[in-house]
Homo-oligomer: A and B are copies of this chain.
Amino acid sequence: MNQNTKEFFMSEAIRLAKENVITGNGGPFGAVIVKNGEIIATGVNSVTSSNDPTAHAEVSAIRNACKKLNSFQLDSCEIYSSCEPCPMCLGAIYWARPQKLYFACTKTDAANIGFDDSFIYEEINTGFDKRKIQSENIFREEGLEAFQEWKAKDDKIEY
């Protein structure tokens, strides 16, 4: 397979996902991040082995790529994930702002093997006061003081 195609990069993400099942490192998920036609970082799911519920393949790959680029933005990068990102990973992708996302399995496929992705997508669309994890809004006025202080700060780094 030509090593500079979307099919090659996705096959790498899937290879990492399969390897992750064999090693027992975590769930069957892998991701690679590509810039200028080269893989600059990879990530696998290591939730259970690292005791980190945020250590999904995409989040890990984003962290690794940003470290490599010394940047909190993935300008001109592409993310290849072996599965459609869960809301956490999709959010992480939006904050990292890559150029394009490719994914293989869908969130329904993930739900079919027991992962909560679809459930979390549903919960996000439910009002916070009706969610399965009970949520309560308190101290908004006090919280807004921090936002005012941010707004007034001259030398802040925005993102």
Binding site for B on A (CB under 8 A): 6-7, 10-11, 14, 17-18, 21-22, 24, 27-30, 47-48, 51-54, 59, 62-63, 66-67, 69-74, 82-84, 86-106, 109-110, 112-114, 116, 119-121, 123-125, 128, 133-140, 142-147, 149-151, 153, 155-159
In the assembled complex, which residues on chain B have CB atoms less than 8 Å from the CB atom of A128? Answer: 84, 103
Beyond contacts A11-B139, A86-B91, A103-B138: 12 other A-B pairs, Cβ-Cβ < 8 A, are A24-B155, A87-B87, A87-B94, A88-B88, A88-B95, A89-B91, A100-B135, A101-B134, A101-B136, A104-B140, A105-B146, A109-B147
Closest to A117 in B: B91
Contact A104 B66 (CB under 8 A): no
Partner of A47, one of B48, B67, B95, B110: B95
Contact B104 A137 (CB under 8 A): yes
Closest to A29 in B: B146
In the assembled complex, which residues on chain B have CB atoms less than 8 Å from the CB atom of A112? Answer: 147
Q: Given A28-B146, A54-B59, A159 and B96 touching (CB < 8 A)?
A: no
In the assembled complex, which residues on chain B have CB atoms less than 8 Å from the CB atom of A119? Answer: 94
In the assembled complex, which residues on chain B have CB atoms less than 8 Å from the CB atom of A98? Answer: 133
